[in-house]
Amino acid sequence: MSSTRPGAARPGSAGATRICPHCKTTILESSVVCPACQHHLKFDSAVGQRAAQGTSALRVEGTLRHPSDGEAWEYSMVLSIRNDRDEEIDRKIVGVGAMRPGEQRTFALTVEIFGAEPKSVATGGTRKH
Protein backbone atom coordinates (compact mmCIF):
# COMPACT_ATOMS: atom_id res chain seq x y z
CA MET A 1 0.00 0.00 0.00
CA SER A 2 2.59 2.51 1.06
CA SER A 3 5.28 3.49 -1.43
CA THR A 4 7.67 4.02 1.46
CA ARG A 5 7.52 0.42 2.58
CA PRO A 6 10.77 -1.42 1.88
CA GLY A 7 10.50 -3.69 -1.09
CA ALA A 8 7.67 -1.76 -2.72
CA ALA A 9 9.88 0.14 -5.16
CA ARG A 10 10.54 -1.23 -8.62
CA PRO A 11 14.11 -2.09 -9.62
CA GLY A 12 15.89 1.02 -10.86
CA SER A 13 13.65 3.46 -8.96
CA ALA A 14 14.31 5.30 -5.70
CA GLY A 15 14.05 2.97 -2.75
CA ALA A 16 14.64 -0.21 -4.73
CA THR A 17 16.44 -2.84 -2.72
CA ARG A 18 18.50 -5.96 -3.22
CA ILE A 19 20.18 -8.56 -1.07
CA CYS A 20 23.87 -8.21 -0.30
CA PRO A 21 25.57 -11.34 -1.70
CA HIS A 22 28.04 -11.33 1.19
CA CYS A 23 25.92 -10.90 4.32
CA LYS A 24 22.33 -11.27 2.96
CA THR A 25 21.21 -7.94 4.40
CA THR A 26 18.58 -5.98 2.47
CA ILE A 27 20.33 -2.90 1.12
CA LEU A 28 19.67 -0.20 -1.44
CA GLU A 29 20.02 -1.40 -5.00
CA SER A 30 22.23 1.65 -5.65
CA SER A 31 24.70 0.86 -2.86
CA VAL A 32 28.30 0.63 -3.96
CA VAL A 33 29.47 -0.54 -0.56
CA CYS A 34 27.26 -2.68 1.66
CA PRO A 35 26.53 -0.60 4.79
CA ALA A 36 26.28 -3.75 6.88
CA CYS A 37 29.39 -5.75 6.02
CA GLN A 38 31.24 -3.00 4.06
CA HIS A 39 32.08 -5.25 1.16
CA HIS A 40 32.31 -3.55 -2.20
CA LEU A 41 29.52 -4.57 -4.54
CA LYS A 42 29.06 -4.85 -8.25
CA PHE A 43 26.11 -3.00 -9.71
CA ASP A 44 24.50 -2.21 -13.03
CA SER A 45 26.00 1.00 -14.30
CA ALA A 46 22.54 2.47 -14.94
CA VAL A 47 21.53 1.95 -11.34
CA GLY A 48 24.81 2.82 -9.73
CA GLN A 49 25.15 6.20 -11.39
CA ARG A 50 22.26 7.62 -9.46
CA ALA A 51 23.51 7.65 -5.92
CA ALA A 52 27.04 6.48 -5.44
CA GLN A 53 27.73 9.34 -3.04
CA GLY A 54 25.86 9.29 0.27
CA THR A 55 25.56 12.05 2.82
CA SER A 56 25.79 11.17 6.47
CA ALA A 57 22.66 12.98 7.63
CA LEU A 58 22.29 11.71 11.16
CA ARG A 59 24.51 10.10 13.71
CA VAL A 60 23.52 9.28 17.26
CA GLU A 61 25.85 7.54 19.64
CA GLY A 62 25.74 6.67 23.31
CA THR A 63 27.69 4.55 25.75
CA LEU A 64 26.28 2.49 28.60
CA ARG A 65 28.54 1.29 31.37
CA HIS A 66 27.71 -1.42 33.85
CA PRO A 67 28.72 -0.48 37.39
CA SER A 68 31.46 -2.70 38.62
CA ASP A 69 29.22 -4.71 40.94
CA GLY A 70 25.89 -6.51 40.69
CA GLU A 71 24.52 -8.96 38.20
CA ALA A 72 25.07 -8.98 34.47
CA TRP A 73 22.69 -6.92 32.34
CA GLU A 74 20.98 -8.03 29.19
CA TYR A 75 20.26 -5.54 26.43
CA SER A 76 18.43 -5.38 23.14
CA MET A 77 19.00 -2.59 20.66
CA VAL A 78 15.80 -1.71 18.81
CA LEU A 79 15.60 0.45 15.73
CA SER A 80 12.39 1.86 14.31
CA ILE A 81 11.60 4.10 11.35
CA ARG A 82 8.42 6.19 11.23
CA ASN A 83 7.05 8.19 8.34
CA ASP A 84 5.54 11.71 8.45
CA ARG A 85 2.19 10.26 9.59
CA ASP A 86 3.93 8.72 12.58
CA GLU A 87 3.36 5.22 11.19
CA GLU A 88 6.07 2.71 11.87
CA ILE A 89 7.36 1.42 8.54
CA ASP A 90 10.25 -0.61 9.86
CA ARG A 91 11.29 -2.04 13.19
CA LYS A 92 14.25 -4.26 13.85
CA ILE A 93 16.20 -5.76 16.67
CA VAL A 94 19.70 -4.74 15.74
CA GLY A 95 21.46 -6.78 18.36
CA VAL A 96 21.14 -8.36 21.76
CA GLY A 97 23.72 -9.30 24.29
CA ALA A 98 24.90 -9.09 27.86
CA MET A 99 27.17 -6.81 29.82
CA ARG A 100 29.05 -8.13 32.79
CA PRO A 101 30.03 -5.90 35.72
CA GLY A 102 32.52 -3.25 34.63
CA GLU A 103 31.90 -3.69 30.91
CA GLN A 104 30.59 -1.05 28.58
CA ARG A 105 28.97 -0.94 25.16
CA THR A 106 28.73 1.94 22.73
CA PHE A 107 25.63 2.03 20.53
CA ALA A 108 25.77 4.07 17.34
CA LEU A 109 23.15 4.78 14.72
CA THR A 110 23.91 6.38 11.38
CA VAL A 111 21.54 7.40 8.61
CA GLU A 112 22.91 7.98 5.14
CA ILE A 113 20.91 9.93 2.59
CA PHE A 114 21.50 9.46 -1.12
CA GLY A 115 20.73 11.90 -3.86
CA ALA A 116 20.27 14.95 -1.61
CA GLU A 117 22.14 18.15 -0.96
CA PRO A 118 23.87 17.81 2.40
CA LYS A 119 22.39 21.07 3.78
CA SER A 120 18.79 20.25 2.97
CA VAL A 121 18.69 16.95 4.81
CA ALA A 122 18.30 17.55 8.54
CA THR A 123 15.09 19.02 9.91
CA GLY A 124 16.57 19.98 13.26
CA GLY A 125 15.93 18.71 16.75
CA THR A 126 18.42 15.92 16.43
CA ARG A 127 22.13 15.92 16.66
CA LYS A 128 23.65 16.40 13.28
CA HIS A 129 26.98 14.95 12.30
Residues that bind Zn ion (CB under 5 A): 20, 22-23, 34, 36-37
Q: Among residues 8 and 36, whose Cβ is nearest to Zn ion? A: 36
Of 21 and 118, which CB lies nearer to Zn ion in the complex structure? 21
CB of 114 to Zn ion, least distance (A): 17
Shortest spacing between CB 27 and Zn ion, in angstroms: 7
CB atoms within 10 A of CB 111: 16
Of the pair 34, 99, the CB lying nearest Zn ion is at 34
Please, what is the minimum distance in Å from the beta carbon of residue 54 to Zn ion?
15
Other CB atoms within 10 A of residue 84 CB:
6
Q: What does DSSP assign to residue 118?
A: G
